[in-house]
């Protein structure tokens, strides 16, 4: 089985330990890259950015053996700004992410009444993708993943910040799902992988503290923040509330034209027909 997973600290509770299994091949990439791996059949199952489920050119299904989500602050899906949120006119958006950029558009529109210009930003290299311009401190930027912590900007540069998970929860009262395990409908290796992933996640539930002690530094995290993060911020399980949060997000994204239509989440236990199309 070939499994594609995000190489962030927050993914460890989903996959740590799999490296000891001989019939598993783990492929690591940033969230936005994994959908390509899956569609090209280079992996059987991948932890993809959630919105890619709706945007996929061919139908996919959810394997409900874990997710990366939240029900409040995430710490690592974060808007940084030198101007007050209400005065934002453009956002440099981390190309590692698809779902977070869509979430940003939804929140800025629904909560703040803003439709800023979006600029593709290679945050690792501090480079504007279209122009190649190097820009150390964009006026406003969306960053995701470990770099929010491991390469945190000096606070003095960004007096205005917003945690997208916290804003979503305040706005809707619902959890949010950033990434989920996706597979192609006929792939039976994905079902086998799903069983293993489900077992490993349950096993890892009790091991999070030890994992953080062992791996936080390698990912550039202070251990104190890492523990709070995987215990109190990131969620790993499909629940009905998580399903409802995901659908609420898709409906908003659809209304805003971020996606063309909302497909039901095939594979998630509570999934049902839904009606929005833009």
In the complex, minimum distance from the CB of residue 57 to a second copy, in angstroms, rounded to a whole number: 36
Q: Which two tokens stand for residue 135?
A: 């820009």
Q: Which two tokens stand for residue 44?
A: 């059987």
Candidates 53, 158, 181, 238: give the one binding a second copy (CB under 8 A).
158
46-105 residues near a second copy, rule: CB under 8 A: 75, 78, 80
Place of tokens 């049902």: 272
Does residue 111 interact with a second copy by CB under 8 A? Answer: no
| Residue 177 β-bridge partners | 69
Which one, of 20, 122, 102, 121, lies nearest residue 53 by Cα?
A: 102
In the complex, minimum distance from the CB of residue 156 to a second copy, in angstroms, rounded to a whole number: 4
CA-based Rg of the chain, rounded to a whole angstrom? 18
Does residue 248 interact with a second copy by CB under 8 A? Answer: no
Residue range at the interface with a second copy (CB under 8 A); choices 16-24, 60-68, 152-160, 231-239: 152-160
What element of type H or E holds 53?
A: helix 51-55
Binding mask 172-211 for a second copy (x = CB under 8 A): ----------------------------------------
Candidates 44, 94, 163, 167: give the one binding a second copy (CB under 8 A).
163
Q: Which two tokens stand for residue 222?
A: 């202070």
**What distance lies between CA 224 and its chain's CA centroid?**
22
Site residues (CB under 8 A) for a second copy?
75, 78, 80, 148-149, 152-161, 163, 225
């Amino acid at each position: 089985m070939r499994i594609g997973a995000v190489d962030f600290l927050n993914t460890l509770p989903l996959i740590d330990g799999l490296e000891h299994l001989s019939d598993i091949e783990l492929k690591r990439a940033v969230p936005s890259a994994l959908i390509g791996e899956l569609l090209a059949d280079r992996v059987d199952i991948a932890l993809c950015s959630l919105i890619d489920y709706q945007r996929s050119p061919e139908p996919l299904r959810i394997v409900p053996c874990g997710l990366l989500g939240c029900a409040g602050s995430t710490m690592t899906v974060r808007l940084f700004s030198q101007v007050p949120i209400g005065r934002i006119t453009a956002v440099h958006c981390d190309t590692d992410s698809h779902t977070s950029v869509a979430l940003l558009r939804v929140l800025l529109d629904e909560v703040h009444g803003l439709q800023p210009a979006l600029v593709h930003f290679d945050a690792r290299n501090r480079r504007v993708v279209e122009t190649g311009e190097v820009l150390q401190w964009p006026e406003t930027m969306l960053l995701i993943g470990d770099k929010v912590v491991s390469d945190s900007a000096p606070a003095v540069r960004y007096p205005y910040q917003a945690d997208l998970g916290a804003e979503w929860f305040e706005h809707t009262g619902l959890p949010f799902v950033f990434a989920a395990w996706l597979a192609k409908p006929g792939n039976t290796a994905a079902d086998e992988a799903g069983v293993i992933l489900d077992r490993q996640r349950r096993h890892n539930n009790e091991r999070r503290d030890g994992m953080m002690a062992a791996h936080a530094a390698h990912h550039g995290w202070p251990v104190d923040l890492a523990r709070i993060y995987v215990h109190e911020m990131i969620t790993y399980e499909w629940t009905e509330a998580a399903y409802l949060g995901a659908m609420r997000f898709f409906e908003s994204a659809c209304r805003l034209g971020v996606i063309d239509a909302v497909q039901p989440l095939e594979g998630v236990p509570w999934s049902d027909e839904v009606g929005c199309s833009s």
